[in-house]
């Protein structure tokens, strides 16, 4: 009894590898046919001997046409000519692995040695330290510089891997939040490739990855070191590239997902512009950060400068551009992971400081300076505080922290700087910090001790009318829970700005027994309000005595207990009870996971 083998579809015969009389094992390919440019293998359904072949190469067949007849039976061992061979090393996989090997750092030992010689890490080393092991999914890895018009392709593949930027998706902080951390988008410019400049394909890669970050609504981490736009690309379809979407895409992330820029070494022009859009900039001491490098400055006729002269770290600490200063790249990655953790949710494990220490933060002497950071660190979980922009706008301290594992923002007046008076820089700092917390769903706790806004002709030259206005406008737009704790002074408009515009705008407004609540500075109020009475007293000693009596009376009236009696604040509490009261009211508030805002001010 024989078995006929037919084709399953209309097709053309490509090859007939076997002759009649050949013994074949089951599943042997007897005819190869093609349909719509796809080859199909027609196999023997069982072992046997080919009795007759009915077709030859080039024939066009209809579905069901018989191509061979076999007589079933035991088959001899198949030869390599009658059985489809399975290659041990496929050429396509070999090519893939060879190309991927060129992406590794060890494929360019000389370039990597220069990086290590400067005590620095490579782009891939920084990314490996940041993300959870095995979680990195790279995008656009096989791109290379668009310079085929001036360089050999093999040279470009070997020396410009990724077109100078490594990027993809990964998870971060898996050790804190379980086996799998939260998904983030990560990008790192590679200074070993054309000085980390921005090329045509690199922009395409960033645009693609940023669009994915938008779709997934995940944070972005950018290692921004590099020299800005690259003039040497030849294979581009445009003139200036001003229609690229990179800067618009990264800006659209603002207010929707957290973003971090890490800058070290030289970071100029386009690279600096990308960093400047991010919520937070973390910099190392060796940074030079500026919107133009030496070539652009010289080209603009503004002089010749070394890279080291442009935007060093001390400049950007003082002017508020840099939010966090890291010791080195290793520390920068640690700070990045800590920063991201506040937007990844609650921690189950936490420790609290002894709260009795709160009672000694503010001295009994109402004029004595104290360290407000002691209050912040005692209020928050142990080792949970991260201060942003500590050397700029110093009369307001802005920190991320946790209470009972819950992330939140804490801002506070610092009486050690301007007596806690809010100047223009401090107003900007506080307003942007409130935006940051609101955008990403962090409740805000305000520790108020301010004599109000800074006053005087010099202060007005800083445009403080508008800068102070930002605090009120931002405070009125908040959707996250807000809690106010008056540590000592709560004077006038400055105190109102520190509590989102009104003591009653907060979910809870409380004061310590040291609290003083007044419409304006008490000494100034007495001098202004009792001027006629005081001027009528001729005896200087008696005049001073009366002045001090009026001041003392006003201080008595301004005590927090009196403000609570009049309903201006909700309660006066033992400082040691602050943490419990804050935790309690926040537990009552609805969950505020990532609310979002149209944007966060870049400044």
What residue ranges do the domains of the chain occupy? Answer: 3-72, 94-341, 355-515+559-588, 520-558
Whole-angstrom distance, CA of residue 109 vs CA of residue 165: 18
Q: Can you give the pLDDT at residue 81?
A: 44
CATH fold of 3-72, please? OB fold (Dihydrolipoamide Acetyltransferase, E2P) (2.40.50)
DSSP notation for 356-397: GGGGGTS-SSTT----HHHHHHHHSPTT--EEESTTSSTTEE
Number of helices (H), then strands (E), in the chain: 20, 25
β-strands 482-491, 406-413: how paired? Answer: unpaired
Whole-angstrom distance, CA of residue 248 vs CA of residue 219: 16
Q: Can you give the pLDDT at residue 510?
A: 98
Cβ neighbourhood burial of 345 (10 Å; 0-12, 13-18, 19+): middle
Q: Which residue ranges in the chain fall short of pLDDT 50? A: 78-84
316-319 — which CB contacts under 8 Å span 24+ positions? 316/281, 316/283, 316/287, 316/289, 317/391, 317/392, 318/391, 318/392, 319/392
Tokens of 82: 């009658």
CATH topology of 3-72 equal to that of 94-341?
A: no
Is residue 53 within 8 Å of 20, Cβ to Cβ? yes
Q: Can you give the pLDDT at residue 242?
A: 77
Q: Can you give the pLDDT at residue 548?
A: 82
CATH fold of 94-341, please? 2-enoyl-CoA Hydratase; Chain A, domain 1 (3.90.226)
Q: Can you give the pLDDT at residue 80?
A: 44
Q: Can you give the pLDDT at residue 83?
A: 43
Helices (H), 253-371: 269-277, 294-299, 313-319, 329-341
Assigned superfamily of 355-515+559-588: 2-enoyl-CoA Hydratase; Chain A, domain 1 (3.90.226.10)
Q: Can you give the pLDDT at residue 79?
A: 46
Q: Can you give the pLDDT at residue 82?
A: 42
Q: At what angle do helices 540-557 and 522-529 cross, to 10 degrees?
A: 130
Is residue 172 within 8 Å of 340, Cβ to Cβ? yes
Is residue 285 within 8 Å of 266, Cβ to Cβ? no
Whole-angstrom distance, CA of residue 566 vs CA of residue 296: 62
Among 274, 350, 272, CA closest to 316: 272
Helices (H), 62-118: 91-101, 109-117
Whole-angstrom distance, CA of residue 371 vs CA of residue 384: 18
């Amino acid at each position: 009894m024989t078995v006929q083998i037919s084709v399953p579809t209309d097709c053309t015969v490509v090859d007939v590898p076997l002759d009649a009389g050949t013994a074949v094992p089951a599943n042997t390919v007897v005819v190869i046919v093609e349909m719509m440019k796809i080859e199909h293998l027609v196999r023997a359904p069982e072992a046997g001997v080919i009795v007759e072949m009915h077709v030859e190469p080039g024939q066009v067949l209809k579905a069901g046409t018989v191509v061979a007849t076999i007589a079933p039976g035991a088959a001899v061992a198949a030869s390599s000519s009658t059985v489809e061979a399975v290659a041990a090393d496929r050429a396509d996989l070999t090519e893939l692995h060879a190309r991927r090997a060129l992406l590794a750092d060890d494929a360019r030992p000389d370039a990597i040695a220069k990086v290590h010689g400067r005590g620095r890490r490579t782009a891939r080393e920084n990314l490996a330290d940041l993300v959870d092991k095995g979680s990195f999914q790279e995008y656009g890895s096989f791109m290379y510089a668009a310079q085929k018009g001036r360089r050999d392709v093999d040279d470009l593949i070997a020396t410009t891997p990724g077109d100078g930027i490594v990027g993809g998706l990964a998870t971060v902080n898996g050790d804190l939040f379980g086996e799998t951390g939260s998904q983030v988008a990560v990008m790192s410019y590679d200074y070993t490739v054309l000085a980390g400049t921005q090329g045509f394909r690199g922009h395409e890669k960033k645009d693609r990855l940023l669009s994915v970050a938008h779709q997934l609504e995940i944070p972005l981490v950018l290692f921004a070191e590099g020299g800005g736009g690259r003039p040497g690309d030849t294979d581009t379809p445009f003139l200036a590239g001003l229609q690229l979407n990179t800067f618009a895409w990264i800006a659209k992330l603002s207010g929707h997902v957290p973003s971090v820029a890490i800058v070290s070494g030289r970071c100029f022009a386009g690279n600096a512009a990308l960093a400047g859009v991010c919520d937070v900039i973390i910099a190392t001491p060796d940074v030079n950060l500026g919107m133009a490098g030496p070539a652009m400055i010289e080209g603009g006729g503004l002089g010749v400068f070394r890279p080291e002269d442009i935007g060093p770290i001390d400049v950007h600490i003082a002017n508020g551009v840099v939010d966090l200063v890291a010791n080195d790249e290793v520390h920068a990655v640690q700070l990045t992971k800590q920063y991201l953790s506040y937007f990844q949710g609650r921690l189950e494990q936490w420790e609290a400081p002894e709260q009795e220490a709160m009672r000694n933060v503010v001295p009994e002497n109402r004029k004595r300076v104290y360290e407000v950071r002691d209050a912040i660190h005692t209020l928050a979980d142990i080792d949970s505080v991260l201060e942003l922009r500590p050397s700029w706008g110093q009369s307001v301290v802005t920190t991320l922290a946790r209470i009972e594992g819950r992330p939140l923002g804490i801002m506070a007046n610092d009486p050690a700087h301007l007596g806690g008076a809010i100047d223009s820089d401090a107003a900007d700092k506080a307003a942007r910090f409130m935006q940051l917390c609101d955008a990403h769903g962090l409740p805000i706790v305000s520790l108020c001790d301010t004599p109000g806004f800074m006053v005087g002709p010099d202060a007005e030259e800083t445009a403080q009318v508008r800068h102070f206005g930002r605090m009120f406008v931002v405070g009125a737009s908040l959707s996250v829970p807000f809690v106010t704790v008056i540590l000592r002074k709560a004077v006038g408009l400055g105190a109102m700005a520190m509590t989102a515009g009104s003591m009653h705008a907060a979910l809870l407004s409380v004061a310590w027994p040291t609290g003083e609540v007044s419409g304006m500075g008490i000494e100034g109020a007495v001098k202004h309000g009792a001027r006629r009475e005081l001027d009528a007293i001729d005896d200087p000693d008696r005049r001073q005595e009366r002045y001090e009596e009026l001041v003392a009376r006003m201080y008595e009236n301004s005590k927090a207990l009196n403000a609570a009696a009049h309903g201006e604040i909700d309660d006066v509490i033992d400082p040691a009870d602050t943490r419990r009261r804050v935790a309690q009211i926040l537990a009552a508030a609805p969950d505020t996971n990532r609310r979002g805002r149209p944007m966060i001010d870049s400044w």
